[in-house]
């Protein structure tokens, strides 16, 4: 079997027995994959503690015929996001990124834009020390890149502009509706300016946004509908969301 290489972000690791690990990875060249790392739990393993969540690594691996798991041969550090996770809120945010990556990214589907999004969001959190705007940006672009993001400035039912009105959303359908069109399925709402904020983010790089003025209070409110839509699109409840909301 030929030795392959790729850049990757570690999403999650699972201990197998006393010495080994299975690692869930978002790789640049192969998409989301899982790999077996023999001896990774040993104190002096050749992976040198690099197989930890959200570490950005260069990876050498063997594909195995008819096996789902690749075999990880070795890894080299490209960038660590470990220190920033001493901040508890950033730690929760990082766990959320990893969970969405695992639930939302299709198996073995290369997605260069999503890979760059992960890096931009992790780096944004690292240098700014802020979780709120990077998280909102991540949610918005994961939905967009997955083809799930609805138009946000209009009611998805009647097309009316939402800026003046509250925008309503619910657990069953992706998209906002206006106060005229809402029914019992759309039980939650955000101010109309959330739709303007979300629309603006489609044209603003994260770094530019983080370098501008401090986060508006509406940023946190704007995240909720997107989290709900990610759960709808992934057809799964996200377990890290509760901790992230409690901490808010």
Q: Which two tokens stand for residue 82?
A: 């470990």
One of 3, 77, 158, 216 touching Zn ion (CB under 5 A)? 158
* Size of residue set near Zn ion by CB under 5 A: 7
Q: Does 157 bind Zn ion (CB under 5 A)?
A: yes
Residues 113-142 that bind Zn ion (CB under 5 A): none
CA–CA separation, 215 and 146 (whole Å): 26
At 74, list the tokens.
Answer: 């070795």
Would you count residue 173 as binding Zn ion (CB under 5 A)? Answer: no
From the CB of 158, what's the least distance to Zn ion, in Å?
3
Closest approach of Zn ion to the CB of residue 174, in Å:
15
The upper half-sphere exposure of residue 24, i.e. CA atoms within 13 Å in the direction of its Cβ, equals 15
Q: Does 145 bind Zn ion (CB under 5 A)?
A: no
Candidate ranges 3-11, 25-33, 106-114, 175-183; the one touching Zn ion (CB under 5 A): 175-183
Cβ atoms < 10 Å from Cβ of 24: 17
CA-wise closest residue to 136 among 192, 82, 200: 200
Phi, psi of 9 (to 5 degrees): -115, 125
Q: Specify the pairing of strand 70-79 against strand 31-37.
A: parallel
Q: Does 181 bind Zn ion (CB under 5 A)?
A: yes
Q: How far is the CB of 139 from Zn ion (least distance, A)?
A: 23
Greatest alpha-carbon span in the chain: 64
Shortest separation between residue 180's beta carbon and Zn ion, angstroms? 5
Among 10, 23, 174, 178, binds Zn ion (CB under 5 A): 178
Q: Which stretch binds Zn ion (CB under 5 A): 30-38, 65-73, 85-93, 147-155?
A: 147-155
What is the DSSP-derived secondary structure letter of residue 84? Answer: G
Phi/psi class of residue 235: alpha, beta or left (left: φ > 0; alpha: ψ in -120 to 50)? left
Minimum CB separation of residue 179 from Zn ion in Å reads 8
| Residues at the contact surface with Zn ion, assessed by CB under 5 A | 155, 157-158, 160, 178, 180-181
């Amino acid at each position: 079997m030929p030795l392959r290489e790729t850049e990757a972000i570690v999403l999650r690791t699972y201990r197998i027995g006393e010495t080994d690990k299975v690692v869930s990875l978002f790789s640049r060249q192969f998409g989301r994959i899982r790999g077996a790392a023999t001896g990774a739990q040993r104190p002096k393993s050749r992976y040198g503690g690099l197989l930890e969540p959200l570490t950005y690594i260069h990876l050498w691996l063997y594909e195995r015929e008819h096996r789902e798991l690749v075999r990880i041969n070795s890894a080299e550090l490209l960038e660590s996001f470990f220190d920033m996770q001493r901040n508890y809120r950033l730690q929760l945010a990082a766990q959320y990124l990893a969970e969405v990556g695992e639930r939302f990214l299709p198996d073995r589907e290369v997605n260069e834009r999503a890979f760059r999004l992960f890096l931009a969001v992790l780096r944004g959190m690292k240098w700014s020390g802020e979780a709120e705007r990077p998280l909102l940006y991540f949610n918005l672009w994961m939905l967009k890149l997955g083809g799930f993001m609805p138009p946000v400035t209009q009611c998805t039912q009647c097309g009316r502009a939402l800026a003046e009105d509250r925008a309503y959303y619910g657990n069953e359908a992706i998209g906002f509706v206006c106060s005229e069109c809402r029914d019992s399925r759309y039980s939650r709402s955000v101010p109309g300016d959330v739709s303007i904020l979300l629309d603006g983010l489609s044209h603003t790089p994260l770094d530019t946004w983080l370098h501008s003025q401090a986060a508006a209070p509406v940023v946190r409110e704007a995240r909720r509908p997107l989290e709900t839509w990610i759960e709808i699109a992934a057809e799964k409840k996200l377990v890290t969301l509760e901790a992230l909301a409690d901490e808010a």
